[in-house]
Amino acid sequence: MTSFTDDQSRLTRQLLESVSDIIYLLDFENKRIEFLSPRAHEILRLPGGAMESLDGVIHPGDKEKMQAHLDACQRMNDHEAMEIELRLQAPDGSYRLFHIRDLVFDRRKDGAVRRITGIMRPAEGARAGEEMAQLLAWKNRELQFVHSELQTFTTLVAHDYLENLKQVYISLEMIISAEAHRFSDPSKAHLRKAQTMLQKLSLLTEDIIAYAALDVSEGRSVIVNLKDMVERVLKDLSGKLEAVHAIVRCADLPTVKGHSLLLPVLFNHLISNSIKFRHSARPLVIDIFSKLLEASTIRHPGAYPGKSYYMVEVKDNGIGFFPVDREKIFEMFYRGHEKAKFKGSGMGLAIVRKIMDIHGGYVAADGVPGEGASICCYFPV
């Protein structure tokens, strides 16, 4: 690398050495840097304190882009600027994003570009990225604190609140058993109603605890054979299925990467949902099948462009639901049908959606009143 030539003025030298940006002069013919401002030694990692070319500091993934930029510079007109952003290595070994602007400095007699002069500075995007990373780190700590508080609350509810509900129920049962002869029939009915409400409150509390406890920490992510897993769930629900004379047809299902403790919960809720909302005028039929789909063929905002998904569908011939409710049914505590006729807390499909979120996928539903419903789970491939 050469220094300033003798005919350069002292003023020019001082100006070039005082600016905060990196200024350089690149010789196209010899592929070497003729001048580099002192500021470069503070910002870039220069082997031996000097740099003859940018090759030593350019990120390997950006070298092809840099070559294309240099080729374009050879074709540019005078007073035309060529710009590019590259990742360059800092003194600590990390890479930072720089914005580079090049101009023609002089030409050979045949008109070809001989040298270019350029200015490089840290890109605004890089600084913004660092600020965003710091902000995300702060927010992550806040979320960890909130998560810890939620776990504490969940533990408190699981151990103390549910235990108190149980004791109140038992106390009412003892009063009814020991003092039944002293109460009128309407009074006994009110006590039984209070017990029923306690049971519903206990069920709702257990579902809220189950929802809050769902987390990626529920076992490691492993390869799960969905066909085998669904068959185990069907075996667990065999009593309920036989009681309503249900017919379940399960086709071949794919293997996916997921949490082996959460996926059975997901399909348990889906199949139980079909049992609960079966049609009284016909036997329940549940079909479980899958398809491999490209995101471009899926009309859902959750489909990430360029990805493929296994769609696993659970379809039944139950009472269905209105299309306007296809999003609402996944909300916590939503109960679109008659509460007195269909027992439950309205948490089942909310749990399904959260489990799919944990797996990086999404869930969608469709239904026709009086004809049936289908719930589609999309697992990323």
Q: What percent of the chain has pLDDT over 70?
A: 76
Structure tokens at 336: 């679109």
Is 330 found in the same domain as 232? yes
Is 345 found in the same domain as 257? yes
Q: What are phi and psi of 184, to 5 degrees?
A: -75, 165
The predicted pLDDT at position 49 comes to 44
Domain membership of residue 70 as a residue range = 10-122
**pLDDT tens per residue, range 203-230:** 767 766 766 666 655 456 789 999 999 9
Is 224 found in the same domain as 271? yes
pLDDT classification of 344: cutoffs 50, 70, 90: low
Is 279 found in the same domain as 225? yes
SS3 154: helix
The predicted pLDDT at position 4 comes to 45
SS3 39: coil
Residue at 249 is within a domain? yes
Domain boundary among 93, 122, 151: 122
The predicted pLDDT at position 227 comes to 95
What mean pLDDT is predicted for residues 217-246? 88
Number of helices and strands (H, E) in the chain? 10, 12
What mean pLDDT is predicted for residues 39-59? 66
Q: What percent of the chain has pLDDT over 90?
A: 25
Q: Residue 128: how many CA atoms within 13 Å on its side-chain side?
A: 3
Domain boundary among 122, 138, 155: 122
Is 345 found in the same domain as 221? yes
Is 78 found in the same domain as 95? yes
Is 18 found in the same domain as 87? yes
Lowest mean pLDDT among 27-36, 137-146, 209-218, 312-321: 209-218
Residue at 172 is within a domain? yes
pLDDT classification of 51: cutoffs 50, 70, 90: low
Q: Residue 280: how many CA atoms within 13 Å on its side-chain side?
A: 2
CA angle 219, 222, 227 (to 5 degrees): 110
What mean pLDDT is predicted for residues 285-300? 91
Is 93 found in the same domain as 57? yes
By the 8 A CB rule, do 48 and 33 touch?
no
The predicted pLDDT at position 306 comes to 82
Out of 113-127, 268-282, 327-341, give the one with best mean pLDDT: 268-282
Do the strands 95-107 and 82-89 form a parallel or antiparallel pair, or are they unpaired? antiparallel
pTM: 0.51
Q: H-helix or E-strand containing 100?
A: strand 95-107
Q: What are phi and psi of 212, to 5 degrees?
A: -65, -30
Is 181 found in the same domain as 320? no
Is 133 found in the same domain as 22? no
Residue at 4 is within a domain? no
Out of 56-70, 207-221, 285-299, 325-339, give the one with best mean pLDDT: 285-299
The predicted pLDDT at position 342 comes to 61
pLDDT over 50 (residue 143): yes
**pLDDT tens per residue, range 359-378:** 889 899 999 999 999 999 99
What mean pLDDT is predicted for residues 168-187? 85
**CB neighbour burial string for 92-108, b if at least 16 within 10 angstroms, e if fewer:** eeebbbbbbebebbeee
* 96-99: long-range pairs with CB below 8 Å, 24+: 96/43, 96/122, 96/126, 97/122, 97/123, 97/125, 97/126, 97/129, 98/122, 98/123, 98/126, 99/123, 99/124
**CB neighbour burial string for 45-83, b if at least 16 within 10 angstroms, e if fewer:** bbeeeebbebeebbeeebeeebeebbeebeeeeeeeebe
If you average pLDDT over every residue of the chain, what do you get?
A: 81
Residue at 282 is within a domain? yes
Do the strands 247-250 and 285-294 form a parallel or antiparallel pair, or are they unpaired? parallel
Lowest mean pLDDT among 1-5, 99-103, 274-278, 364-368: 1-5
Residue 346: closest CA among 325, 360, 324: 325
Is 158 found in the same domain as 106? no
Domain boundary among 85, 105, 122: 122
Residue at 259 is within a domain? yes
CATH number for the domain spanning 242: value is 3.30.565.10
pLDDT over 70 (residue 128): no
Domains in the chain, number: 3
Residue at 2 is within a domain? no
Is 312 found in the same domain as 179? no
By the 8 A CB rule, do 302 and 354 touch?
no
Residue at 26 is within a domain? yes
